[in-house]
């Protein structure tokens, strides 16, 4: 009976499949642009922190501090679109039945995830552009075209591991409590990765555990893009890739099993 029913479903052409992906991505981006409670804090918090610590307090810092803080706050900034854009939205959409409705619609199953990934990457792109403008025009940081392009690429793609983590957290939390749960992950992860202050000030155990956090590896790539000496980029890239695929697989399994 099921196979007979499935055979009656219309088959989407390649053009229709592509259109479904594009429309879902467009809808996600428009939805978040119309939600200033997400857009404004996500874009402005990293910029405000950078202005405070790199510009207003910059005279008390070493000469290269503003450039180093640029990499740190880019990393901090691009964590949020994936964690909150995926996690809170998914938790709310599971609670209000929107996810069930989307599953019943004749669209590719991955269009829902891709739409949110596109939204997160575009938001990350806006964050890194804003921070680079502040760094070069206000903080006096000198960046060449290669550094800016590499940092932009690292930041835009670097939000994907946090999309995976946000997706997993969205399957674990209820809608009303999702923001609190994500903040319990987001802020400690930023601190324990050395984004707010050097790792050397942490106790040895916490310092050694920094390598488990995706934010630490993304920060190393961001600092490398700014020509700080952080060693080979490939161990960090590989770790982030394994983390993203592994967490996404667990989150996908939970979605199929628990809805």
In a domain, 2, yes or no: no
Check: CB of residue 218 under 8 Å from CB of residue 243.
no
Q: Residue 80's pLDDT is what? A: 94
In a domain, 206, yes or no: yes
In a domain, 76, yes or no: yes
Whole-number Å distance between alpha carbons of 227 and 222:
9
For residue 70 the two structure tokens come to: 């640029």
pTM of the model: 0.87
Domain of residue 169 covers 13-258
For 145-150, the CB contacts below 8 A with 24+ separation are 147/225, 147/226, 147/227, 150/225
In a domain, 244, yes or no: yes
In a domain, 238, yes or no: yes
Count the domains in the chain: 1
In a domain, 8, yes or no: no
Whole-number Å distance between alpha carbons of 193 and 76:
10
pLDDT tens-digit profile, the chain (259 residues): 444 444 444 566 777 677 766 777 787 777 777 777 778 889 999 999 999 998 887 666 776 889 999 999 999 999 999 999 888 888 888 777 766 666 666 667 777 788 888 899 999 999 999 999 999 999 989 999 999 999 999 999 999 999 999 999 988 888 788 889 999 999 999 999 989 888 888 888 888 889 999 999 999 999 999 999 999 999 999 999 999 999 999 998 888 876 5
In a domain, 104, yes or no: yes
Whole-number Å distance between alpha carbons of 130 and 123:
11
In a domain, 23, yes or no: yes
DSSP for residue 51:
I
In DSSP notation, 149-216 reads HHHHHHHHHHTHHHHHHHHHHHHHS-TTTHHHHHHHHHHHHHHHTTSSS-GGGS-HHHHHGGGGSHHH
């Amino acid at each position: 009976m099921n196979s007979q029913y499935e055979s009656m479903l219309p088959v989407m052409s390649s053009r229709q499949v592509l259109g479904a992906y594009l429309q879902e991505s467009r809808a996600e981006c428009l939805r978040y642009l119309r939600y200033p409670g997400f857009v404004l804090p996500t874009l402005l918090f990293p910029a405000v922190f950078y202005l405070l610590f790199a510009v207003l307090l910059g005279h008390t810092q070493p000469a290269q501090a503003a450039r180093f803080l640029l990499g740190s706050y880019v990393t901090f900034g691009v964590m949020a679109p994936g964690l909150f854009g995926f996690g809170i939205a998914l938790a709310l959409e599971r609670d209000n039945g929107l996810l069930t409705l989307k599953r019943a619609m004749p669209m590719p199953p991955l269009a829902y995830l891709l739409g949110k990934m596109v939204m997160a990457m575009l938001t990350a792109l806006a964050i890194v552009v804003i921070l680079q403008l502040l760094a070069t025009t206000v903080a006096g940081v000198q960046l060449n075209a290669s550094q800016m392009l590499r940092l932009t690429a690292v930041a835009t793609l670097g939000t994907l591991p946090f999309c995976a983590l946000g997706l997993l957290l969205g399957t674990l939390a209820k809608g009303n409590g999702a923001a609190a749960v994500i903040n319990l992950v987001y802020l400690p992860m930023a601190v324990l990765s050395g984004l707010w202050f050097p790792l050397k000030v942490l106790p040895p155990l916490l310092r050694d555990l920094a390598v488990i956090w995706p934010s630490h590896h993304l920060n190393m790539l961001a600092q490398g893009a700014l020509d700080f000496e952080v060693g080979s980029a490939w161990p960090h890239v590989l770790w982030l890739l394994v983390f993203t695929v592994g967490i996404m697989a667990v989150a996908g399994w939970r979605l199929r099993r628990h809805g």
